[in-house]
Amino acid sequence: MLSIISTRDHEPRERLDFWNELIGSTYDGMSIDGVDGPFNASLGVWQSDAFRIVRPRSRPAMIVRHECGRTSSTKRTFLMHMTTQGQIEMEQRGRKSMLGPGDLVICAAEEYYRFNAATNHEMMVVEFDGATALDRLPTFEDHVARPIRAGLPGTRIIRRYMDSLWQEGREDLPPGQSTVHANILLDMTIACLSEPAGTLRPAADRTLAQLEDAIGARLDDYTLRPSSLAADLGIPLRTLQDVAARAGTTLNTMILRQRLQRGTQLLRKHSGASIADVADACGFSDPSYFARRFAQHFGISPSEYRSCN
């Protein structure tokens, strides 16, 4: 099930200490240093029988996992980090790289590594058993600390898959499905590691894919605006507007289209949910406005759409 923990309910002077205690209990040997200003963060955890997805979000910070945190000299664990917002410098085994939205990187959990986030940022983190990963891909170890870029088809697919899983996190998975999804996550990650860099999209197409993914990750956020997308991606607003224009649309239209499309999915899946609940889950604070835009876009009201599906 999905749980969300935040620093919001703690006094500002206590937040960093609280966060270090929380993160240290989640990942042994990890510590956080705030950069500038009051520290704020949240941590989403989706724990199932066979895997766990952790989704930390915070203000600028230095995240370090110390080698002394290893629990067993023989255990091997890999962590797949996918950046969903912000810009983060990553270092492990003497390798440094800058990660942007949609980029992923593999870390060796029992070794020292560091993330230096100079901006507000968010990541999705999945843990893989080392023996299983190496059995599936004997060269898995070679990919540690080598970033896999967002422009590759494999990284785009795994980002969307993880976002979809996250949307289901408020409900328990049916028996047996947890293991299936854990295996799929590992196989998709291996596919990303094995993908040739020559399949990268042109720069404009990569930015469009990043933009669509960033919108999809925040559809339930009432405050989502073109300016906040630019801040999340670390890309100038004018650049994003130009990318949308070349695709024959606008940023506001992209946001609206994805919200309405999410609405159709929720109307089909959750027959007992009210229209107001569906509107809220899609980022509409006013159910009447949601219903009006839905009818304009699909030519049918949300209630009528549900009855036909």
The yes-or-no verdict on residue 261 having pLDDT over 60 is: yes
14 exposure class (CB count in 10 Å sphere: 0-12, 13-18, 19+): exposed
- 203-308 belongs to which homologous superfamily? Homeodomain-like (1.10.10.60)
pLDDT band at 190 (very low <50, low <70, confident <90, very high): very high
Once rounded to an integer, what is the mean pLDDT over residues 258-285? 89
Q: What is the pLDDT of residues 297-307, one digit of tens each?
A: 888 899 988 88
Q: Taking CA 94 as the corner, what is the angle to CA 90 and CA 98, rounded to the nearest 5 degrees?
A: 25
Q: In the CATH scheme, what architecture does the domain 2-199 have?
A: Sandwich (2.60)
Distances (CA, A) of 94 to 44, 46, 91, 101, 187: 30, 31, 6, 23, 27
Phi first, then psi: what are they for 77, rounded to 5°?
Answer: -135, 140
Give the model's pLDDT for residue 129: 92
Mean pLDDT for the chain overall: 86
Nearest-angstrom CA–CA distance, 68 and 112: 8
Give the model's pLDDT for residue 128: 94
Compute the residue count for the chain.
309
The yes-or-no verdict on residue 202 having pLDDT over 70 is: no
Nearest-angstrom CA–CA distance, 260 and 290: 8
What's the helix, strand, coil split of the chain in %, to 5?
45, 20, 30
Give the model's pLDDT for residue 309: 63
pLDDT band at 164 (very low <50, low <70, confident <90, very high): confident
Which helix or strand (DSSP H or E) is residue 230 part of? helix 226-233
Q: How many CB atoms lie under 10 A from the CB of residue 278?
A: 24
pLDDT band at 248 (very low <50, low <70, confident <90, very high): confident
Beta strands 52-58 and 41-47: pairing type?
Answer: antiparallel
Nearest-angstrom CA–CA distance, 210 and 207: 5
Listed as own residue / partner, the contacts of 232-235 with beta carbons closer than 8 Å and 24 or more positions apart are: 232/85, 232/86, 232/101, 232/120, 233/85, 233/100, 233/101, 234/86, 234/87, 234/100, 234/101, 234/119, 235/207, 235/210
Give the model's pLDDT for residue 192: 87
With beta carbons less than 8 A apart as the criterion, state whether 263 and 278 touch: yes
Longest dimension (CA), the chain: 62
One DSSP character per residue, 120-176 reads -EEEEEEEEEHHHHHHH-TTGGGGBT--B-TTSHHHHHHHHHHHHHHHTTTSPPPTT
> Six-digit token pair at 234?
């670390």
pLDDT band at 201 (very low <50, low <70, confident <90, very high): low
**Residue ranges of the chain assigned to CATH 1.10.10.60:** 203-308
pLDDT band at 123 (very low <50, low <70, confident <90, very high): very high
pLDDT band at 217 (very low <50, low <70, confident <90, very high): confident
With beta carbons less than 8 A apart as the criterion, state whether 186 and 128 touch: yes
Q: What is the pLDDT of residues 12-48, one digit of tens each?
A: 888 989 999 988 887 888 889 876 677 889 999 888 8
Angle between the 287-298 and 251-269 helix axes, to the nearest 10 degrees?
Answer: 100
Q: What is the pLDDT of residues 53-90, one digit of tens each?
A: 999 999 899 999 887 544 444 578 999 999 988 889 99
Nearest-angstrom CA–CA distance, 90 and 37: 22
**Amino acid of residue 166:** W
**Residue ranges of the chain assigned to CATH 2.60.120.10:** 2-199
Once rounded to an integer, what is the mean pLDDT over residues 290-296? 91
Give the model's pLDDT for residue 24: 85
